Homo-oligomer: A and B are copies of this chain.
Amino acid sequence: MFLSPVDVAMLVRQRGIRRVLREMTEAIEEDFRRWSEFDKSPRVANHSPDGVIELMPVSDAKRYAFKYVNGHPKNGLRNLPTVMAFGVLADVDTGMPLLLSEMTLTTALRTAATSAMAARALARKNSKTMAIIGNGAQSEFQALAFAEIMGIDTFRLFDTDVAATHKLIANLRAMGLTAVACESVREAVRGADIITTVTADKTNATIITPDMLEPGMHINGVGGDCPGKTEIHSEVLRAAKVFVEYEPQTRIEGDLQQMPTEFAVTELWNVLNGNATGRASNEDITFFDSVGFAIEDYSALRYLYEEATCDGNVGELPLMPLLADSKNLFGLLRPANADRELIRACDSANPPAERATQVVRNQLVALHA
């Protein structure tokens, strides 16, 4: 099965984005609660001067998922997305891929769903106002997930790029949400119940400083997500209770990279399972140091796979060869018989071969007519 960005956009629009964010939040929480069932490994990164390309694999007893994702801050100059991604869901018993999907849009959805899931466990229940620092490609998804899951009704926005803030305001107002442009980070966060930081610069920034903190705040730190890229002053981390996805990865990639190795953090799945305490009082400051973890992609891919299967009529991608005899791979190339082999494999394929394969089949049939 293949899902392009248009396919995923259509799937989301048919259901409504708020419903999809809610269902994806539940899917991720369900998988976080069975954390120990997953075979987890740190992501594999290839760094270059302008960016990074990463592979993020994870599996349980039934399914395997991985995501390919890049991070190239200068891509905006070429009008390419900074972050682009695709992923695969596969069957563990045979190794056969079940789904190849775009994950640029899907990563934005699952990141926002994960942020909202964390806030539901950590933020004050009566939170109504959220500051969003960084108004780029991810920001609408964050706002809608917090509106849907946390009931946030007012968004206070700041970005160094005023055009990005205007874009965000227009998109949020079209969705019926209240959004206010602010002159500074300080103005945006004043009185906010929740602060979301989601900036793109690959630098050690201190966007949120200790003097901005107010009792009971929850900070959702999304943009500090790779070595050398942080957003939050270290004293903010010391003033807060810090929660992470997968500690070994966040120590390297999160705002946590600033802290000594003995600095204590709690893995979020323990809070979701009731093994650890989240917020102890309405005065606690909680910080979710989000970097993105492979289980979130697994959850998003299995959700898309289930939904697209329900919808039916999805595209197939001929990624693996159709063979009449699994030991005769060479049959695809044998000059005299190859065409007949292809035609037979195509005709006996179940589910039916993808259109591109049918086109080739028909060409070959015509050639030998």
Residues of A within 8 A of B (CB): 2, 4-6, 9-10, 12-13, 17, 39, 41, 44, 46-48, 50-53, 55, 57-59, 61, 64, 66, 68, 70-72, 75-76, 78-82, 84, 86, 88, 90, 92-97, 102, 104-105, 108, 136-138, 140-141, 161, 164, 167, 171, 174-175, 315, 317-323, 325-338, 342, 354, 356-357, 360
Asked if B76 and A95 make an inter-chain contact with CB atoms under 8 angstroms apart, the answer reads no
User: Which of A6, A104, A317, A322 is most buried by chain B, counting CB atoms within 10 A of its CB?
Assistant: A6
Interface of A, helix, strand, loop or mixed by DSSP: mixed
- What's the minimum C-beta distance from A316 to chain B, rounded to whole angstroms? 11
Chain A to chain B contacts (Cβ below 8 Å), 22 pairs? A4-B319, A5-B320, A13-B333, A46-B59, A48-B92, A52-B95, A53-B59, A53-B90, A70-B90, A81-B320, A84-B320, A102-B320, A104-B321, A105-B321, A105-B329, A105-B332, A105-B333, A137-B328, A167-B325, A171-B328, A171-B330, A174-B334
Q: CA–CA, A96 to B72, complex, Å?
A: 10
With A141-B330, A167-B328, A326-B137 in contact, do A75 and B94 touch (Cβ < 8 Å)? yes
Contact partner of A51 among B12, B80, B95, B335, CB < 8 A? B95
Asked if A326 and B79 make an inter-chain contact with CB atoms under 8 angstroms apart, the answer reads yes
Contact partner of A86 among B92, B97, B328, CB < 8 A? B97
Asked if B105 and A53 make an inter-chain contact with CB atoms under 8 angstroms apart, the answer reads no
Q: CA–CA, A88 to B70, complex, Å?
A: 13
Q: CA–CA, A6 to B331, complex, Å?
A: 12
- As for how many copies of this chain the complex holds, the number is 2
Contact partner of A140 among B39, B330, B338, CB < 8 A? B330
- What's the minimum C-beta distance from A245 to chain B, rounded to whole angstroms? 18
User: Which of A61, A76, A137 is most buried by chain B, counting CB atoms within 10 A of its CB?
Assistant: A137
User: For A320, what are the chain B residues with a Cβ–Cβ distance below 8 Å?
Assistant: 5, 81, 84, 86, 102, 104
- What's the minimum C-beta distance from A139 to chain B, rounded to whole angstroms? 8
User: For A326, what are the chain B residues with a Cβ–Cβ distance below 8 Å?
Assistant: 75-76, 79-82, 137
With A9-B333, A334-B174, A335-B13 in contact, do A72 and B94 touch (Cβ < 8 Å)? yes
User: Which of A5, A92, A333, A357 is most buried by chain B, counting CB atoms within 10 A of its CB?
Assistant: A333
Asked if A48 and B6 make an inter-chain contact with CB atoms under 8 angstroms apart, the answer reads no
